[in-house]
Structure 1
């Protein structure tokens, strides 16, 4: 039996195995701290590491020890107020001990601080995006710089010594020897039968010259058989390895953000936080994923990442302008036979007059039939307006491809994000 001992060290020469075991053991504490950290951080500080605090009582270890056992006699101090069976009244004022309360200063007693440690950026992101996935990611296509894997493709007469196929080589050598010596072996067998008959004859009638000739011929045939090599160069067979391209799932995510005048700066910051989480999730978990950023007010515009998150342009509100642009880009650049298409839209729900009906019609007829999944985030503490009501009809038509969630304040962003992209169990 083989034993593998992992002695990897982290940056401070501590055991990496022990660290991973510790992270697994206190996973729930760390996930809770990561969830709280996401809501408190600034947008530019979203992907750094985090300091985790674990209450001391949660890291205490059970201890086995010997009990006192046996028969013991003790002398205890008596009293002149109570006898057996008396009820002891509760101390006035709610009682209490001599120690200091939690979070209060005291000139007596001592406490134990919480256990605090630092997790790295990679560990922070791992916990932040644990158990999340893009739904319905199924379409696979060969394109671009492909990754190749090798697989067996039979045998070849040429190759490297490390690829020798011993079984096929011995089989080939045996077949060659049988083919080259089969006729001689059959002739030897016939001669041996003839020799037996000659030797079985009456001694007076034996043909000694014929017996000697048969023996000479048998010896010659056996010598010829022995000269056939046991293994020749062209008997050696090599495993043939060929490369074949590995198909990959290609996905594109359309990020649609409302930047109209009705979106306050706080609302825009929450929308940006949501899209930054989505962007980090895609960049970390998927290699072949493209992101299309679309900002809109009365008109829509495809922008780069920097402009999408930091531009201050604003205006009125026509949500359908972003959906029309998404439809056009999808038809021009991303054929649905090759791409898994996703969409995420963030808005405060305000829209111009009857434009909400246009939005639902666009989604139902032109966009959602081509998409794997579409999520709508409404960032508002107010009651829902016409856009939400129209999108409810979309959710009824496409229950598996369309999801809606509301964000009221910063604490809702991360739970809503996890709810939208939670890994589905089979």
Structure 2
């Protein structure tokens, strides 16, 4: 029984084996994930799209090796030298005299790091950063529109532009045409050549000069006739035909709602911005075609672009329901539930007009959650929860699979909370 082995020898841009790099990353996945998680705490979120330098503990990169023990005899061939001649015995190096490659510095933590480090790319960094995360409850909906198309090979055509000529198919057609048009002449030419050879092999007394001249003349006519056929003709040309086909995809939209009222300190706003930036990178990585709607609110709500959402400053009171109403209106106007997967994330410090919190609960339960796949709420505050949190707890009890809420106290909570909100559900 024979076994077949397929070896991937494709090279990446730096002339290194891509398959070997992937195997290496899988082998040291534990250390890479630890380094990526540490980078989240050390870096700013806006710096997340860069690579990272990874160090591997020396105990994990040791490989089995063979060495020579004490005693024994071995034969080797050395280059010419001035000290030894054939037959001399060379003493072995004394044990323990080797020179190590470490820096000789002790570690007070009981565990050292090897000098070996390597870098992971931006895509690899984001891959490990967002591993096991997904937008929950993503379902396939009808396509909103056929805006995305892909060109696929759909055979050949007789007309086209020179750039799309299929050389192999054109040459095959030309060869077939020449065979078809000159087949009879070629068969006759072979026959004439055979008769001519037989006639020339006869003795001079039996050889017919008139027949030889006749055969030579016919041979010349046949070769001329065959030679007139063009090597390739316009009729032979074939062009690659590409058909434009719609590319099926999921239509998804993510609503980002943030409180920018006077109760939101600059530190609180910064944490909210970092959470949404992390969320935005996650969405962009997982979905090439996804709409993101930014809504800021204080006493009134406003749909803004990304720049204004993250960096403009506003003051005022807090009426959270204004943002929820605007989101509901935008969904009804631009994102029909039959065609879109709708997600929402809301950031707030928990302050709200007390009479408005029950309105928020009613809007979520009756209008928004029946239309969305997932709604996540983060409350950025070290204080005790207020009326808005308790109203949202009632919402979570009614919609446990569609609504999630977490508290963030400082910047160190951003990434763990993000993973908790968007972790992949086991089905």
Give TM-score scaled by structure 2 length: 0.66
1:350 correspondence with 2:347: no
**Displacement of 1:38:** 1.5
**What are the residue-to-residue correspondences of 1:128-143 with 2, within 5 Å?**
128-138=129-139, 139-141=141-143, 143=145
Deviation of 1:2 (Å): 6.1
User: Which residue of the partner structure matches residue 291 of structure 1?
Assistant: 292
Q: State the match for 2:257 in structure 1.
A: 256
Q: Given the superposition, is the C-alpha separation of residues 16 and 315 from structure 1 closer, same or farther in structure 2, using an over 3 Å criterion?
A: same
Are the structure 2 counterparts of residues 396 and 272 from structure 1 closer, same or farther at C-alpha, using a change threshold of 3 Å?
same
1:28 to 10, 30, 44: 30
Q: Deviations over 1:171-190 (max 9, x none)?
A: xxxxxxxxxxxxxxxxxxxx
RMSD: 3.1
2:210 corresponds in structure 1 to none
Partner of 2:52: 50
Secondary structure of the corresponding residue to residue 54 of structure 1: strand
Contact in 2 for aligned 1:263/1:348 (Cα 8 Å): yes
> Residue 301 and residue 101 in structure 1: after superposition, are their counterparts in 2 closer, same or farther (change >3 A)?
same
2:107 matched to which residue of 1? 102
Distance 1:336 1:279 in 2: 22
Query: Which structure 2 residues correspond to residues 332-371 of structure 1 after superposition, within 5 A?
Result: 332-371=333-372
What whole-Å deviation, never above 9, does each CA across 1:23-68 have from its counterpart, x for those lacking one? 1111111112111212222243221111222222222234467988
Equivalent of residue 19 in structure 1, options 18, 21, 27: 21
**Residue 151 to residue 134, structure 1, CA distance change in 2 (3 Å):** farther
Farther off after superposition, 284-293 or 50-59: 50-59
SS in 2 for 1:140: coil
Is there any run of 5+ residues in structure 2 with no aligned partner, and where? 72-103, 160-165, 170-240
**Kept after mapping to 1: 8 A contact 2:256/2:292:** yes
- Which residue is equivalent to 1:329? 330
Deviation at 1:384, TM superposition (A): 1.5
Q: CA deviation at 1:379?
A: 1.1
| Corresponding residue number in structure 1 for 2:173 | none
Q: Could you tell me how far 1:246 is from its partner in structure 2?
A: 3.5
Contact 2:262 2:314 in 1 (8 A): no
Question: Using a 3 Å threshold, how does the CA distance of structure 1 residues 267 and 112 change in structure 2: closer, same or farther?
Answer: closer
SS of residue matched to 1:141? coil
* Helix, strand or coil at the partner of 1:312: coil
Residues 394 and 151 of structure 1, relative CA distance in 2, 3 Å threshold: farther
Task: State the Cα deviation string for residues 275-295 of structure 1 (Å, max 9, x = none).
Answer: 001111111110121000011
Residue ranges of structure 1 left out of the alignment (5+ in a row): 70-98, 105-110, 163-239
Q: In the alignment, which residue of structure 1 is the partner of 2:74?
A: none
**Residue in 2 aligned with 1:269?**
270
Quickly say closer, same or farther: Cα 1:350–1:114, change in 2 above 3 A: farther
Q: CA deviation at 1:116?
A: 2.2
Output aligned runs, 1:7-406, within 5 Å.
Answer: 7-11=10-14, 13-63=15-65, 101-103=106-108, 113-138=114-139, 139-141=141-143, 143-148=145-150, 244-406=245-407
Change in Cα spacing, 1:10 to 1:57, as seen in structure 2 (3 Å) is: farther
Alpha-carbon distance in structure 2 between the residues aligned to 1:67 and 1:147:
67
Cα deviations across residues 109-136 of structure 1 (Å, max 9, x unaligned)? xx76453222111111111111211112
Aligned length, in residue pairs: 312
- Give TM-score scaled by structure 1 length: 0.66
Measure the CA separation in 2 of the matches of 1:356 and 1:63: 68
Contact 1:149 1:246 in 2 (8 A): no
Q: 1:64 to 1:364 in 2, by over 3 A?
A: farther
Q: In 1, are the aligned partners of 2:357 and 2:387 still within 8 Å (CA)?
A: yes
Alpha carbons of structure 1 residues 112 and 393: separation in structure 2 relative to 1, 3 Å = closer
User: Secondary structure in 2 aligned to 1:360?
Assistant: helix
Q: Distance in 1 between matches of 2:369 and 2:66?
A: 61
Distance in 1, matches of 2:418 and 2:5, equals 44
Q: State the shift of 1:4 in Å.
A: 3.4
Aligned equivalents of 2:256, 2:52: Cα separation in 1: 28
Larger Rg: 1
Q: CA deviation at 1:312?
A: 1.6
